[in-house]
């Protein structure tokens, strides 16, 4: 899947523009051990590489963080001259008390622990120009739940002195379900914009440098928030397509 990073609009209230510039096109990968030659090839054509930082992998035991695999991945990204776009995602059974590590339970206690993990990750990689994305296609989350996660994570980053210096985006929104919560169907229905606007209205732009969406619809690909006449999204923050079928 391809992704694109739009440049920030010019406005006094905007934060510094994202890295990538004219090379703001990128790809998603799903391995921590991309062969050096293949990564170098990616660097010849793309400026961004998007990859998961799963909570349960980065914090295998409560309070014990292991970022080794991303240290190695960052070195590969640097050698290929690409900008990392890493997704803070997944769950952690040590906190959710579920049988799997992938489900992020929407509760204040779990969100608070997730915010600690996110802050530890961003702090560990501070100053490397990484773009951090908060979840990918937050399936089943209501606007209030996602806004709570954004606020808890954003405030944790702010208290650590990271919010202004690092790049933070979300929600990598896909399409809605019948209940109005996101699914993994790409954006192609008008009520998707209502979910996004509700999240933004609850203060997400106090923390996000940009709004990421997954507008991959069957050709022709015309479904994008800014194409919709009813969209009243951010005037300052850029829109990023961080997931689209090639």
Mean pLDDT of the chain: 78
Query: Looking at the predicted structure, is the pLDDT value of residue 220 above 50?
Result: no
Query: Which pLDDT does position 185 carry in this prediction?
Result: 47
Q: Which range, 55-64, 76-85, 204-213, is most confident?
A: 55-64
pLDDT, one tens digit per residue, over 15-38 is 555 555 435 688 888 776 666 667
Query: Looking at the predicted structure, is the pLDDT value of residue 13 above 70?
Result: no
pLDDT, one tens digit per residue, over 73-87 is 999 889 888 899 999
Say what percent of the chain tops pLDDT 70.
Answer: 67
For 25, other C-beta atoms within 10 Å of its C-beta total 15
Report pTM: 0.81
Contact between 171 and 144 (Cβ < 8 Å): no
Element (H, E) at 244: strand 239-244
Which of 230 and 3 is assigned the larger pLDDT? 3
For 41, other C-beta atoms within 10 Å of its C-beta total 13
Query: Which pLDDT does position 222 carry in this prediction?
Result: 42
Between the CA atoms of 114, 16, 242 and 138, what dihedral angle is there, to the nearest 10 degrees?
30
- Picking from 218, 225, 229, 220, the residue whose alpha carbon sits closest to that of residue 242 is 225
Query: Looking at the predicted structure, is the pLDDT value of residue 221 above 50?
Result: no
pLDDT, one tens digit per residue, over 165-184 is 999 999 888 755 444 455 54
Query: Which pLDDT does position 102 carry in this prediction?
Result: 87
pLDDT, one tens digit per residue, over 103-162 is 899 999 999 999 999 999 999 999 999 999 999 988 778 889 999 999 999 999 999 999
Query: Which pLDDT does position 4 carry in this prediction?
Result: 54
What is the C-alpha to C-alpha distance for residues 122 and 119, in angstroms, rounded to an integer?
Answer: 5
Contact between 85 and 78 (Cβ < 8 Å): no
Query: Which pLDDT does position 30 carry in this prediction?
Result: 78
Q: Helices marked H in 59-142 — which ranges?
A: 68-80, 93-96, 108-124
Query: Looking at the predicted structure, is the pLDDT value of residue 202 above 80?
Result: yes
Query: Which pLDDT does position 130 carry in this prediction?
Result: 95
């Amino acid at each position: 899947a391809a992704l694109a990073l739009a440049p920030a609009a010019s406005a006094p209230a905007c934060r510094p523009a994202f890295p990538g510039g004219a090379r703001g096109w990128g790809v998603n990968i799903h391995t921590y051990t991309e062969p050096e030659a293949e990564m170098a090839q990616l660097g010849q054509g793309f400026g961004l590489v998007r990859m998961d930082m799963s909570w349960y992998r980065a914090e295998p035991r409560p309070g014990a963080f292991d970022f080794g695999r991303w240290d190695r991945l960052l070195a590969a990204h640097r050698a290929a001259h690409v900008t990392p776009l890493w997704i803070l995602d997944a769950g952690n059974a040590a906190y959710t008390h579920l049988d799997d590590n992938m489900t992020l339970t929407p509760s204040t206690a779990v969100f608070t622990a997730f915010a600690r993990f996110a802050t530890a990750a961003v702090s560990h990689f501070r100053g490397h120009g990484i773009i951090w994305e908060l979840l990918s296609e937050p399936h089943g989350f209501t606007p209030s739940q996602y806004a709570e996660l954004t606020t808890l994570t954003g405030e944790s980053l702010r208290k650590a002195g990271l919010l202004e210096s690092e790049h933070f985006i979300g929600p990598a929104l896909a399409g809605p379900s019948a209940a109005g919560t996101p699914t993994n169907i790409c954006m192609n229905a008008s009520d998707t914009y209502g979910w996004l606007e509700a999240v933004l209205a609850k203060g997400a732009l106090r923390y996000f440098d940009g709004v990421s969406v997954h507008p991959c619809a069957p050709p022709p690909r015309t479904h994008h928030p800014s194409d919709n006449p009813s969209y009243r999204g951010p005037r300052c923050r850029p829109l990023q397509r961080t997931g689209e079928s090639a």
